[in-house]
Amino acid sequence: MTELYRKLEAHLNLLYPEQDGAALAQRLVETMRIVPGGPEPVPYSNHWDQADAYVISYGDSLLSEDRLPLENLHHFLSHYLADSLSGVHILPFFPYSSDDGFSVIDYYQVNQSLGDWPQIREIAAQFDLMADVVINHCSARSGWFDNYRQRKDPGQGFFFEGDPGDDLSQVVRPRTSVLLQPVQTLDGERHVWCTFSPDQVDLDFTNPEVLVEFVSIIRYYLSQGIRVFRFDAVAFVWKIPGTPCINLPQTHCLVQLLRLLVEHQRSDAIIITETNIPNRENLAYFGNGNEAHAIYNFSLPPLLLNTLVTGDCSHLRTWLMTLPPARNGTAYFNFIASHDGIGLRPAEGILSEAEIDRLITTMEGFGGRISWRDRPNGQRSAYEINISLYDALAGTLAGPDSHQQARFLCAHAIMLGMEGIPAIYIHSLLATQNDQERVANTNHNRAINRHKWDYPRLQALLADGSSHHAQVFQAMKQLLAIRRCQPAFHPNATQFTLQLGDALLAFWRQSPDRSQSIFAIHNVTDKPQSLSLTSLNLIELDRWTDLLGGQCFLDLRQTLELAPYQSLWLSNAPVMVDDTATPTV
């Protein structure tokens, strides 16, 4: 405990130099209910292995008349995915006023339309549950904000105020709305900082009372069985006018402090930072192995999408080559679709503006929408593409074609083979298409990929082998079943990128104990491609098997022909899944 107090005080003295660091550290420890003699976190420990994979879902993605939405979600997870996935990220399930949950009214309550804490605890008892800590802002309709305007506690010092006369020219914005919003309080008009929207008012972490409150929130979530915490929009959490107000040193310090508290309360708890920013800035949230346990791999979605619609993997390959291995105790959180759009900022410096414009045009041709942001120079630029991933992969630059399903499965085979922990959006598992009606009803671009399924209808479609939903779902489950058995797919297993030309994306994985090697090779084009096995330098004394097709290769001098978007996972020590319906991906 002495070492914990020393580290906490060091962080607190940096964040709050005018406060009594020792007294504040004691208060935080008591709030988190850390007891002397409790289990100490083991440095550089991996709280995951190759069997770990997550599904991302809203609490109300599956609706029916006879069950609460959270009960439907639990039923779906336990009856369809218990042998495929280890965890679930339920997107904000709290009472909210906008942004489909990310404008939180009350952090301690479950939205009654979804269920209540007993339903959350039941899911957490069976799956590793990830919950959002919406840490940068809360709803303008929250009790905290009402108290702020009335100058009452808790809340009167909780929100970040700005001065219209401040130099805000450097502030990095993800939106086009006005940053400072005028608000009437008992003390007159004030201007509150709203990074994302007028309904999402930024919290003021320069006030230590806000920190104490969020430690209390996290402690409460731990008591409900939640083990994994996604820090939403955390890059924006500390503001200093005259700076970009993103990724400031105090932000990194705050994440480090919260990690200390969380892992001393539960040693296997995991913090994941959600930072939709350029790649180098994103990597900084690993810290020195003392910050985020995992970071969202935000560059992967736009680069993989670009690869598959252009048939050229050169940018993705180069990025993979420069991606530093995550040290033990840290991991990449890999995803290629989510409730948000496909972010374009993480592709900055990798794709040229012309390539981004070409990608945007192609996605608009597949029914996609574009969300914009204001830049410090006053110009507007594309922030993200809003589209369902299944429709995003409907074709190539030339337009839609007949390879949509194969291309879609190839994308997931690539992601599932990569270093890191994979996460699959529920609408990717179900091959859900663009919901244009929902966009029209909400006037919100992101609604295009936030469809709400009638659960009985979905179950009927999944039972119908002729539907593309059933076909994709079964193929995705098979990919997951194969992956989870292979030690070479441990999130921290060695990865080397191979040079097989621009049409074949390939990388080599080796298990931490070196007992298994897997060569993951993917045809990213709509044309057959040849692969000479001699180019892989396979060890002839080993028996090499394609985990996806089941074929054993005895002649290592032969040349294979990969069909459009076909993937191979060549393993020298395969753990095969007993399933005669193994699809060729």
pLDDT digits (tens, 9 = 90+) for 281-308: 999 999 999 999 999 999 999 999 999 9
Domain with 158 in it: 139-202
Q: Which of 202, 227, 256 is the last residue of a domain?
A: 202
In a domain, 327, yes or no: no
How confident is the model over 86-102, as a mean pLDDT?
Answer: 97
Q: What is the pLDDT of residue 132?
A: 98
Q: What is the pLDDT of residues 58-78, one digit of tens each?
A: 999 999 999 999 999 999 999
Q: What is the pLDDT of residue 577?
A: 65
In a domain, 387, yes or no: no
Asked if the model's pLDDT at residue 581 lies above 50, the reply is no
Asked if the model's pLDDT at residue 580 lies above 90, the reply is no
CATH number reported for the structural domain that contains residue 176 in this entry = 3.90.400.10
Strand partners, 228: 130, 270
Contacts of 332 (CB under 8 A, 6+ apart): 294, 295, 297, 323, 326, 418, 419, 420, 421, 491
Number of domains in the chain: 2
Cβ 235 vs Cβ 134: under 8 Å: no
In a domain, 420, yes or no: no
Mean pLDDT (the chain) is 95
Q: Which of 172, 202, 232 is the last residue of a domain?
A: 202
How confident is the model over 181-192, as a mean pLDDT?
Answer: 97
In a domain, 466, yes or no: no
Q: Which residues are catalytic?
A: 232
CATH number reported for the structural domain that contains residue 528 in this entry = 2.60.40.1180
Q: What is the pLDDT of residue 447?
A: 96
In a domain, 159, yes or no: yes
Q: Which of 202, 222, 238 is the last residue of a domain?
A: 202
Per the annotation, where are the binding residues?
A: 99, 137, 230-232, 339-340, 446
Q: What is the pLDDT of residues 438-483, one digit of tens each?
A: 999 999 999 999 999 999 999 999 999 999 999 999 999 999 999 9
In a domain, 547, yes or no: yes
**Ramachandran category for residue 551: left, alpha or beta (phi over 0 → left; psi -120 to 50 → alpha):** beta
In a domain, 556, yes or no: yes
The percent of residues in the chain predicted with pLDDT above 70, rounded, is 98
Q: What is the pLDDT of residue 379?
A: 80
Per the annotation, where are the binding residues for substrate?
A: 99, 137, 230-232, 339-340, 446
pLDDT band at 516, cuts 50/70/90?
very high
Q: What single string gives the DSSP state of each residue in 276-338?
A: -S-HHHHHGGGTTTTS-SEEE-TTHHHHHHHHHHHT--HHHHHHHHHSPPPPTT-EEEE-S--
Q: How many residues does the chain have?
A: 585
Q: What is the pLDDT of residues 366-421, one digit of tens each?
A: 999 999 988 877 788 899 999 999 999 999 999 999 999 999 999 999 999 999 99
Q: What is the pLDDT of residue 576?
A: 64
How confident is the model over 504-514, as a mean pLDDT?
Answer: 97
Q: What is the pLDDT of residue 30?
A: 97
The percent of residues in the chain predicted with pLDDT above 90, rounded, is 94
Q: What is the pLDDT of residues 203-238, one digit of tens each?
A: 999 999 999 999 999 999 999 999 999 999 999 999
Q: What is the pLDDT of residue 579?
A: 47
In a domain, 356, yes or no: no
